[in-house]
């Protein structure tokens, strides 16, 4: 058994364990052992602000993605096969476009002379262009778009496994469609909700390109702190410490979620 998996283990060791270990080592070692980098992460307010902002944005993105994604997954599940394939294709298609391209596309849509502002002005709904981008709003809109498939697909997978008989049984007992939905379908789809929310939230925590391009410079998420510490301030140790804290946060979330549902489910394996 060990002989069979050892090549895979070696790959994991070389590509994941060693680099992450080196990263962690860098955060505590600079001309001797030091906790200075962690002291700064936990006491300097620019770090706190970034972690708080990242948390807020991730939460907002997760909630919006859930509100948008649930009906889509529901429709894809309920409609005949041809339609559901079309819906899923529309969800997955943008997935194959680079994140960078999609961020620029949102810029073209949302900026002052962008499609949406031009249209609103043409319809005379507004006289001055709205500030839709270069702020937190633009960041959230684009991030939701990019992460939506990670919400829809686990939801759809869970809904697929809910037996249709149960709904019929509910109806035969006299429950209205909305009552069967609330009492039968919704509770059974909750594992998918948890899985989708975890995926979206965790991925959003590490977002970099979208806030960089659409945040107008003020939306400083944690990953941007990492890159600025390296590029601007040449502080590899500080960057490593931020990265380690973020990584531990993500692992903690996965651990907490795994107490409720199996991790394979979150990662879409089952």
Contacts with another protein by CB under 8 A lie at: 44-46, 49-50, 107, 111-114, 131, 134, 212-213, 216-218, 220, 228, 230-234, 236
Rounded least distance, CB 49 to another protein, Å:
5
Q: For another protein, give the closer residue by CB, 216 or 249.
A: 216
Angle at 252 between CA 231 and CA 20, to 5 degrees: 40
Q: How far is the CB of 216 from another protein (least distance, A)?
A: 5
Give the residue with the Cβ less far from another protein, 117 or 189.
Answer: 117
The least distance separating another protein from the CB of residue 134, rounded to whole angstroms, comes to 5
| DSSP letters for 211-260 | HHHHSTTT---HHHHHHHHHHTS--HHHHHHHHHHHHHHHHHHHHHHHTT
Cβ-based neighbour number of residue 14 at 10 Å: 10
Identity of the residue, 222 or 266, whose beta carbon is nearer to another protein in the bound complex: 222
Exposed/middle/buried for 32, CB within 10 Å: 0-12, 13-18, 19+?
Answer: exposed
Q: How far is CA 56 from CA 59, 78, 90, 195, in A?
A: 5, 33, 28, 19
Shortest distance in whole angstroms from residue 248 CB to another protein: 23
CB of 112 to another protein, least distance (A): 5
Nearer Cβ to another protein (127/178): 127
Q: How far apart are CB 135 and another protein at their closest, in Å?
A: 9
Residues in the chain: 270
3-class secondary structure per residue, 76-114: HHHCCHHHHHHHHHHHHHHHHCCHHHHHHHHHHHHCCCC
Specify the residue, 45 or 124, whose C-beta has the smaller distance to another protein: 45
Q: Cβ closer to another protein: 91 or 221?
A: 221
């Amino acid at each position: 058994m060990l002989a069979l998996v050892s090549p895979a283990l070696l790959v994991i060791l070389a590509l994941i364990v060693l680099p992450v270990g080196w990263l962690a080592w860098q955060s505590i070692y600079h001309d001797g052992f030091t906790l200075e980098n962690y002291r700064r992460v936990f006491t300097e307010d620019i770090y706190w602000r970034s972690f708080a902002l990242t948390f807020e944005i991730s939460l907002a993105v997760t909630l919006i993605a859930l509100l948008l994604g649930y009906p889509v997954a529901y429709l894809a599940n309920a409609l005949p096969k041809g339609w559901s394939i079309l819906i899923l294709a529309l969800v997955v298609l943008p997935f194959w476009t680079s994140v960078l391209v999609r961020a620029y596309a949102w810029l073209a849509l949302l900026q002052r002379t962008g499609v949406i502002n031009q249209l609103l002005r043409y319809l005379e709904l507004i006289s001055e262009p709205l500030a839709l981008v270069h702020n937190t709003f633009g960041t959230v809109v684009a991030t939701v778009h990019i992460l939506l498939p990670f919400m829809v697909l686990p939801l759809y997978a869970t809904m697929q496994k809910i037996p249709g008989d149960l709904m019929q049984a509910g109806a035969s007992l006299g429950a209205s469609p909305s009552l069967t939905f609330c009492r039968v379908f919704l509770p059974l789809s909750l594992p998918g909700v948890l899985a989708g929310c975890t995926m979206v939230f965790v991925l959003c925590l590490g977002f970099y390109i979208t806030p960089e391009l659409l945040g107008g410079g003020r939306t400083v998420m944690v990953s941007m702190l990492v890159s600025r510490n390296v590029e601007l301030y040449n502080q590899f140790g500080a960057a490593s410490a931020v990265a380690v804290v973020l990584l531990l946060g993500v692992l903690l979330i996965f651990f907490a979620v795994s107490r409720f549902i199996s991790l394979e489910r979150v990662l879409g394996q089952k």
